[in-house]
Amino acid sequence: MNGIHDLGGLTCFGPVVREANEPVFHEDWERRTFALMMLTGAALGPIDSYRHAIERMDPLRYLQTTYYEHWLAGLERLVVERALADAPPARNTVTAEVVDAVVAAGISAERASDDFAPRFAIGDRVVAKNLNPRDHTRLPRYVRGRQGVIAAIQGNHVFPDTAAHLAGENPQPLYSVRFAARELWGPQAAPQDCLYVDLWESYLEAATS
């Protein structure tokens, strides 16, 4: 969806303001919100679902609330959508004893496959498709329709556009695509500057010019 979260390229928010000696969390409810988001994946995940829940916040609220309020809004939405209150008890409970193992192991998005056959090679010129899906996507608006070059092949990665909706992982090749800053922003950009964006294969087509 073309949501308020897709901020790249806006210049209306003023300078970056930093907080001196910023703590990791400002308030205790932020601590709890963080931990709740991290340890409820079995019922409310995967990570793409959390992201999409935040993206569907009211846009004005999104801009007027703090970061962990976004997470809280996402949690609340998923608790309702997945009907957690009506769900049977979880089969596996995350206990304190396993948290360290969860943190250390991580949750890989890569799905190794013998059939891995990326359509594009490093150096190929590609265009980011002009896609405007109604649901979740990780294709930023600012690259749509723009031409770039395959800079790296990142592996076979879970496709967030379907994973967010529990419609399958559908892993596919993920590429680092290099875009010239001028291709994206025009002559105001420095001629040598560039941006690298990680894009899944189905976001891309071969450049024809």
Partner 1 sequence: MSEHDDHHRHDDDHHHPHAAPPNPYLEKRRNGEESAALAARVRAIEALVVAKGLATTAALDRMVERYEHDLGPMNGARVVARAWTDPAYKARLLDNATAAIAELGYGGLQGEHMVVVENTDSVHNVVVCTLCSCYPWPVLGLPPAWYKDAPYRSRVVIDPRGVLADFGTELEPDVEVRVWDSSAEVRYLVLPQRPPGTADMREEELAALVTRDAMIGVTRLAAP
Interface with partner 1, residue 209, by CB under 8 A = no
Interface with partner 1, residue 103, by CB under 8 A = yes
Q: Output phi, psi for 93, to 5 deg.
A: -100, 130
Tell me which residues in 152-181 interact with partner 1 (CB under 8 A).
152, 154-155, 157-158, 160, 174, 176, 181
Q: Which of 126, 120, 118 is nearest to 207 (CA)?
A: 126
Interface with partner 1, residue 80, by CB under 8 A = no
- Exactly one of 124, 169, 183, 198 binds partner 1 (CB under 8 A); which one? 198
Q: Output phi, psi for 59, to 5 deg.
A: -60, -35
- Exactly one of 2, 58, 59, 66 binds partner 1 (CB under 8 A); which one? 66
**Widest pairwise Cα distance in the chain:** 58
How crowded is residue 189: how many other Cβ atoms within 10 Å of its Cβ? 15
Q: Return contacts of 7-11, CB within 8 angstroms, 24+ apart.
A: 8/140, 8/141, 8/142, 9/141, 9/142, 9/184, 9/185
Q: Which of 72, 74, 68 is nearest to 3 (CA)?
A: 74
CB-wise, 120 or 140, nearer to partner 1?
A: 140
The secondary structure of residue 165, as a DSSP letter, is T
- Exactly one of 2, 8, 122, 165 binds partner 1 (CB under 8 A); which one? 8
Interface with partner 1, residue 199, by CB under 8 A = yes
- Exactly one of 111, 147, 185, 202 binds partner 1 (CB under 8 A); which one? 185
Q: Which of 122, 105, 109 is nearest to 177 (CA)?
A: 122
CB-wise, 124 or 185, nearer to partner 1?
A: 185
Number of residues that bind partner 1 (CB under 8 A): 93
Interface with partner 1, residue 1, by CB under 8 A = no
Tell me which residues in 113-142 interact with partner 1 (CB under 8 A).
138-140, 142
CA–CA dist 60, 16 (Å, integer): 20
Tell me which residues in 27-46 interact with partner 1 (CB under 8 A).
27-29, 31-36, 38-40, 42-43
CB-wise, 16 or 117, nearer to partner 1?
A: 16
CA–CA dist 65, 127 (Å, integer): 35
Peptide bond into 88 cis (omega under 30): no
- Exactly one of 59, 113, 168, 196 binds partner 1 (CB under 8 A); which one? 196
CB of 44 to partner 1, least distance (A): 8
